[in-house]
Amino acid sequence: MDGKRVLVTGGSGFIGGAIAASLRADNDVRTLDTDPDPPAGVTAIEGDVRDREAVEEAVADVDVVFHQAAIVSVERSIDDPNETHAVNATGTLRVLEAARRHDARVVAASSAAVYGDPEGVPLAEGARLEPTSPYGLSKLALDHYLRLYHELYGLETVALRYFNVYGPGQTGGDYAGVIEAFLRAARSGEPLTVHGDGEQTRDFVHVDDVVRANLLAAETDAVGASYNVGTGDSVTIRGLAERIRRAVGSDSPIVHGDARDGDVRHSRADISKAREELGYRPSVGLSEGLETLVEDRRVSSASQNR
Q: Dump pLDDT digits (tens) for 137-178.
A: 999 999 999 999 999 999 999 999 999 999 998 876 554 479
Q: Taking Cα atoms as reference points, which of 230, 228, 233, 113 lies closest to residue 161?
A: 228
What pLDDT is recorded for position 304? 65
Confidence of residue 306 (pLDDT cuts 50, 70, 90): low
What pLDDT is recorded for position 176? 47
CA distance 153 to 145: 11
Please give the backbone phi and psi of residue 143, each rounded to the nearest 5 degrees, phi first. Answer: -50, -50
Residues labelled as active-site residues = 135
What pLDDT is recorded for position 196? 95
Confidence of residue 37 (pLDDT cuts 50, 70, 90): confident
Please say if the pLDDT value at position 86 is more than 60: yes
Per residue in 179-191, pLDDT (tens digit) is: 999 999 999 999 9
CA distance 187 to 206: 21
- Listed by start position, the domains of the chain span 5-166+205-230
CATH number of this structure's domain 5-166+205-230: 3.40.50.720
Contacts of 283 (CB under 8 A, 6+ apart): 208, 209, 212
pTM for this entry? 0.95
